[in-house]
Amino acid sequence: MGFEPPRRLVRALGDSEWTGQLPELVEETAARDGLEVERVMAPGGRSSLVVLVRRRQDGSPAALKLVPPLAAPELERAALAHWDGFGAVRLLGGSGGALLLERLHPEQSVRSLPEARALLEAAGTVRRLWVEPPPGHVFETVAERTGRQLSALSDRAGAAPRALLEAALTTRGELLADSAESLLLHGNFRQGKVLAGDRAPWLAVGPEPLVGERAYDLARLARDRVEDLVAAASGASAARRRVNRLADSLDVDRDRLRGWTLFRAVESGTRAIAEGRRAEGELSLEFAGWL
């Protein structure tokens, strides 16, 4: 199958050996797993290639997701297998960097709904994912993941106001010193990661799984549609109300959600600025300043 990898993916990963091999990887995987290729999803994501396929055995639709080795596809596979379709897309097969998934409706995410309804549906979806991790799991913890981010944050210190950066680092330390939950988390949950399905109205996709407390998993969702909040005259108060509503709707401590939202917004904002996405990064930092 000849095709050019989606530009969005190439911009995010660079013109790497893996992106250059994608046409061959799709062809080899389809032949090995008995799949008929329909089309590549475009614009697609920034970290993987998704191809709509049909299984030759019975003609049933599916989606083939190819993930670069550095993105740890084995962890996504383990999380999806553990959820077994409960709240998340169902894993149908695949090996290595290839995941064969249930076909959803990628053109319709929760983000397409009005904001209040989108938050309600997203919250109802993510609560299903919060389960005990499997015995002997190899998922990293919230402490480990955020620990890896600390040194990078120090290198990017000039991208954020000093007081805001110090507040984020202090808050992380306080939260980790008093955290009792150890649940399997999506890791990158937001409205765009919830797609319409056939066997369930909404299902989560694209986990970056880890183990920890629910407030961490909600923190990225709390920052969704930040551009709308920044454009509104009451953006700061609306942001704080959103955090409180999310916390209350899922019985999560308000202060813990506010704290993780602050840390993740500062981390994400400084990273975006360092990667040349200044406008995106500044929005995240402005949001963090409201908290």
Sheet of 98-102, strand order: 35-40, 49-55, 61-66, 98-102, 91-93
pLDDT score at 195: 97
Does one domain contain both 133 and 197?
A: yes
Of 58, 83, 103, which one is at a domain's C-terminal end?
Answer: 103
Task: Name the residue range of residue 210's domain.
Answer: 109-290
Instruction: Answer yes or no: do 97 and 113 share one domain.
Output: no
CATH number of the domain to which 30 belongs: 3.30.200.20
d(CA 77, CA 69): 13
What the block records as the tokens of 184 is 């399997």
**For helices 162-177 and 254-274, angle between their N-to-C axes, nearest 10 degrees:** 130
Longest CA pairwise span in the chain (Å): 60
- Are both 125 and 147 inside the same structural domain? yes
Of 103, 122, 139, the position where a domain reaches its end is 103
Q: Does the residue 2 lie in any domain?
A: no
What is the mean pLDDT of the segment spanning 24-31?
92
The answer to whether residue 128 is domain-embedded is yes
Strand duo 98-102 + 61-66: pairing: antiparallel
Regarding whether 244 and 129 lie in a shared domain, the answer is yes
The pLDDT of residue 15: 64
257 and 225 in a single domain? The answer is: yes
* Closest by Cα among 150, 168, 181 to 253: 181
pLDDT tens per residue across span 237-274: 999 999 999 999 999 999 999 999 999 999 999 999 98
Which of 218, 77, 222, 208 lies closest to 144 in space, CA to CA? 208
CATH number of the domain at 134, please.
3.90.1200.10
Residue 70 pLDDT > 90, yes or no?
Answer: no
The secondary element (H helix, E strand) that includes residue 202 is strand 202-204
φ, ψ of residue 206 in degrees (nearest 5)? 60, 45
Give the mean pLDDT of 122-143.
96
Query: Which of 103, 136, 164 is where one domain is finished?
Result: 103
In a domain, 1, yes or no: no
